Amino acid sequence: MTYYLTIKDKDLYPHLREEYGGIDLFPTLLLLNRDGEEVSRVVGGKKIFENLESILRQIHENRV
């Protein structure tokens, strides 16, 4: 199975901001399941850094 981690520029993908509930603060990390549905959201660079290990583990274990 292949996993992807993608970084999107907010200015190049404005439709994603609307599709996932009006993302207003940046950086915002969205964890999506295979169907593109939001599983969790982490806002702010410090919080992303603090939670990155568990988020990556969750992706690796294919729990989303």
Is position 2 within any domain?
no
Q: What is this structure's pTM?
A: 0.70
| Residue 50: band (very low, low, confident or very high) from pLDDT cuts 50, 70, 90 | very high
Task: Identify whether 4 is part of a domain.
Answer: no
What is the mean predicted confidence (pLDDT) over 22-48?
85
13-22 as b/e, with b when 16 or more CB fall inside 10 Å? Answer: eeeebeeeee
Q: What's the confidence (pLDDT) of residue 59? A: 80
Burial zone of 27 (CB within 10 Å; 0-12 exposed, 13-18 middle, 19+ buried)? middle
- Residue 57 pLDDT > 60: yes
- For residue 8, is it within any domain? no
**Range 42-62 average pLDDT:** 87
Q: Shortest CA distance to 48 belongs to which of 14, 15, 5, 12?
A: 5
Q: Is residue 29 part of a domain?
A: yes
Provide the residue range defining the domain that includes 50.
14-60
Residue 2 has pLDDT above 70, yes or no: no
Q: How many domains does the chain have?
A: 1
Q: What is the mean pLDDT of the chain?
A: 81
Q: Is residue 52 part of a domain?
A: yes
